[in-house]
Chains A and B, each alone.
Chain A
């Protein structure tokens, strides 16, 4: 099939950026979305042009590196799917596809479709862990964990940190990302001692980074490639309030 792409090109953080039109022919339906861009980039390099910069690595939907706004939807039209796992069989001959980077103030554009998501790492640094130095752990069976809790913790822990939730949110909120980690650790017995301090520190860091507040729009969970549920945010809020009240 033949397609028209309109791709956001921006040489660096200080450039204004613009949508640039490309025609691409003979796209196979079995290609992945990124393979289609690879083909275009090979052409651009040979022509001496700058290839389109985009983040990608594992190309199997788990590293969280790929990050494209495709026709206004984070990671494109297929539910529960990262950009790298989207295949061209979902498009038709003659389609025009608009590709943009994640847009949120705490995610400044580095180049073209590449953004800086280091704010996420700083939210984890604030408290997204259980403090347990290597070598100090008790036997793994010392603390049984009810299967339902373990399974719910796992559901939240599957977050890949891609940032689609932020890109989709009209407020540019990182609540779903932050809540996923707070929920994962807060549901496990191992996570209890730091549960309150963790929720407070992570929420405060999220605010400090300039992410917006949550107004329960639910766009985040709709685009989340791992389907992190919205109720994690309720849990985050509960933990945050409880911790704030305790320490005054």
Chain B
């Protein structure tokens, strides 16, 4: 697969001036919409996770006419709900030296200098408002006996800035956003469409003006028009088939938008989470994450010698290798996710892995239980330990957990400017679906922060500036609408008519394995070229041989799945192309060819300090580069040693 070089992206619309004033400036320069006019302006929000749920609720509160869509049976079920660990905010309630600037600094550095300074600074600024908002909504964060909020330090941070609600922070924050959304539904400002899946974006006169969706119960293909469209449809980790994402998570909404002209940024930046429960068999349908907050008290180790099959308890202390503490004495078990993941892969590649297939490392709580007592450990991590025992049948209080890295989050996504607007005017992208704030690697507890920052605070301001012109928009082109609808119907018809011999899931598994092997934790030119050769073949087989039973006019889960898998093929190809072109290692993207003598990732700032923004054209992908400049945080090679 070849690509062409297009025009660089020069303007991201971030205001000039001192970084701490930029968001304030933008808030003031963004035009306002008269309250009487807001009632006449329609906004579509697709997805009801932290970003989409909070955005739809907030836009409703502001008085816009909102339509919200989700594929689940209720907006409360979006996968943000599964986030366990916590949410960062620069409150400095502990007085331990935290500040907005430090959160900004940590995020830019943690992102391996591949995120925009202006966006990240704003994220850190807004973080403090999120906690206030959530507490006012009744989110039951953990508290101290004095009644004030408790915090903890979390993956890669040396200050205690992570607010949490036991191991269910995502659930509690999402239920907060969901309750705000339901309040607006009751108030009549938001019209909710559950069990609806977006299958096409409608672009008219160069602007995003609506979506085509399928009613997943009746199969009816519906068109919804609006003045702006907001995509909050999450990440695309399920391209790997096995990931910590929910089964329904997919790329279709953002991929359709990409096909309609929205530029896709940094598709190869995927985050592999170091602490997941290892695969148990061929039938495995998803992977389960164990919050990395466990790394605060758990110690990661493998046997010193390979092929050591003794039970953990029988391996004496001096025959254990606490490799993270050994290699990274300053950060120990709290090194960032990409480093912890790759270190686990390395020790398993050396044959020192534990458990079935040797694909696992120990996460041991024996010391923590001895130090703090079983009760204290249970209070902190009880629900996680129960979850582990339910899945594996093993008791982590008496034997160490086995963990292995798994795909967890995708930093790449649709390109957006400072206003969170994509390259299609009127198409805004928020939360994990966009590429914006995490660079090449996201820090722990920052996903919840970004989703809510976008939805509660950033988008509702910036979208107003765009909608201030809504009265000047041209009438929607009927032909564009009809074409979008026909495209959706044809696609459904095509999937149902192949009538081959393999299920969509079996293709998805094969694609996922290919991506894990060649575009996973470690990437090489050779492997990526292999993948780029194999993906088109597999896609052709899919369209020749997939079997989808049933008809469109019913609840048809086989059809839903087949449509999503079809889009994953195309995305997988772009991911591999992006990974191949970026010959440096950075954050979640590790190219074996680019490492130092110690095996650490080697960035190439001279050639790759840019956002790779891919445009889809009839002649193939076109790469637009957006150069990244660092005025405040000096670019250094990360070192956690």
Give chain A's interface residues, CB within 8 Å of chain B. 11-12, 28, 30-32, 34-36, 38-39, 41-42, 44-46, 48-51, 53, 55-65, 78, 80-81, 85, 87, 89, 110-111, 114, 116-118, 120-121, 124-126, 128-141, 143-147, 150-151, 153-154, 157-158, 160-161, 184-185, 188, 190-191
Q: How far is the CB of A15 from chain B (nearest CB, A)?
A: 11
A31 contacts which chain B residues (CB < 8 A)?
281, 283
Q: Does B97 reach chain A (CB closer than 8 Å)?
A: no
Which residues of the other chain, A, contact B140 by a CB distance below 8 angstroms?
150-151, 153-154, 157, 184, 188
In the complex, chain B residues whose CB is within 8 Å of the CB of A30: 280-281, 393
Q: Specify which of B74, B141, B393 lies most central, judged by the most chain A CB atoms within 10 Å of its CB.
A: B74
Name the B residues within 8 Å of A42 (CB-CB). Answer: 503, 505-506
Chain A interface: which of B7-15, B128-136, B206-214, B523-531?
B128-136
State whether B132 touches A184 (Cβ < 8 A): no
B168 touches A62 (CB 8 A): yes
The reply to whether B283 and A28 form a contact with Cβ atoms under 8 Å apart is yes
A147-B73 in contact (CB<8A): no
Establish whether residues A154 and B390, one from each chain, have CB atoms under 8 Å apart when the complex forms: no
Q: Select one of A11, A55, A133 contacting B554, CB under 8 A.
A: A11
Residues of B contacting A157 in the complex (Cβ-Cβ under 8 angstroms) = 138, 140, 165, 172, 175
Chain A nearest CB from B228 CB (Å) reads 18
Contacts A65-B73, A140-B149, A188-B138; is A128 near B132 (CB within 8 Å)? Answer: no
- Which residues of A sit under 8 angstroms from B342, Cβ to Cβ? none
Q: Could you tell me if A32 and B285 are in contact, using CB atoms closer than 8 angstroms?
A: yes
The proximity string for B residues 159-179 relative to A, scoring 1 for CB distances below 8 Å and 0 otherwise, is: 000000110101110010011
Residues from chain A with a CB closer than 8 A to the CB of B457 are 134-135
Q: Assess the A57–B246 pair: CB atoms within 8 A.
A: yes
A contact residues around B247 at 8 Å (CB)? 56-59
A134 touches B501 (CB 8 A): no
Nearest Cβ on chain B to A79's Cβ, whole angstroms: 11
Among B73, B135, B502, B549, the most chain A Cβ lie within 10 Å of the Cβ of: B73
- Does chain A have a CB within 8 A of B286? yes
**A45, A137, A138: which contacts B548 (Cβ < 8 A)?**
A45
> Within 8 Å CB of B564, what residues of A?
none
How near does chain B come to A85, taking the closest CB pair, in angstroms?
Answer: 5
Closest residue to A162 on the B side, CB-wise? Answer: B77
Report yes or no: B549 in contact with A58, Cβ–Cβ below 8 A: no
Supposing A30-B280, A111-B555, A158-B171 touch, asked if A184 and B138 sit within 8 A by C-beta, the answer is yes
Docked pose: A115 CA to B503 CA in angstroms: 25
Given contacts A51-B558, A145-B147, A157-B140, contact A63 B182 (CB under 8 A): no
Partner of B288, one of A36, A60, A145: A60
Residue contact B550 to A87, C-beta cutoff 8 Å: no
Contacts of B142 in A (CB 8 A): 150, 154
B79 at the interface (CB under 8 A from A): yes
Task: Give the most central of A12, A45, A89, A141: most B CB within 10 Å.
Answer: A45
| Contacting residues, chain B, for A184 (C-beta < 8 A) | 138, 140
Q: Which residues from B are CB-within-8-Å of A191?
A: 138
Instruction: Give the contact stretch, choosing among B53-61, B299-307, B325-333, B581-589.
Output: B53-61
**Interface hits, B110-168 → A, CB 8 Å:** 129, 131-138, 140-149, 165-166, 168
Quick check: A137 and B129 within 8 Å, CB to CB?
yes
Residues of B within 8 A of A57 (CB): 72, 77, 79, 246-248
- Residue numbers in A under 8 Å from B386 (CB-CB): 80
A85, B457: Cα distance in complex, Å: 36
A/B pair count, beta carbons within 8 Å: 228
Contacting pair B77 A46 (CB below 8 A): no
Neighbour of B179 across the interface among A11, A51, A118, A124, CB < 8 A: A124
Complex Cα spacing A114 to B195, Å: 12
Q: Complex formed: what's the CA distance from A153 to B138 in Å? A: 9
24 A-B residue pairs with Cβ-Cβ distance under 8 Å, sorted by A, are: A41-B558, A46-B547, A58-B82, A59-B288, A62-B81, A62-B170, A62-B171, A63-B77, A63-B246, A64-B76, A85-B391, A110-B217, A114-B555, A130-B137, A132-B136, A134-B61, A134-B180, A135-B129, A147-B144, A154-B166, A161-B74, A185-B138, A188-B138, A190-B138
* Residue from A110, A117, A132, A188 having most chain B Cβ neighbours under 10 A: A132
Q: State which of A39, A63, A116, A144 has its C-beta within 8 Å of the C-beta of B283.
A: A39
Q: Counting CB contacts under 8 A, is B39 at the interface?
A: no
Closest to A124 in B: B182
CB-CB under 8 A from A158, the residues of chain B are 168, 171
Nearest chain B CB to A2's CB is how many angstroms away? 15
| B130 smallest CB distance to A (angstroms) | 9
Indicate if B460 sits at the interface (CB-CB under 8 A). Answer: yes
CA of A49 to CA of B79, assembled, Å: 30
Please indicate the chain B residues that have their CB under 8 angstroms from the CB of A63 in the complex. 72, 77-79, 81-82, 246
Contact A64 B77 (CB under 8 A): yes
Query: Nearest Cβ in chain A — how far from B345, in angstroms?
Result: 23
| Closest chain A residue to B150, Cβ basis | A147
Given A36, A116, A139, A154, which contacts B132 in the complex, CB threshold below 8 Å?
A: A139
Interface residues of B in 390-410 (CB under 8 A from A): 390-391, 393
A118 to B77, CA, bound (A): 12
B404 to chain A: closest CB distance in Å? 15
Docked pose: A132 CA to B58 CA in angstroms: 10
Query: Is there an interface contact between A45 and B72, defined as CB atoms closer than 8 Å?
Result: no
The answer to the question of B557 belonging to the interface, with a C-beta cut-off of 8 Å to chain A, is yes
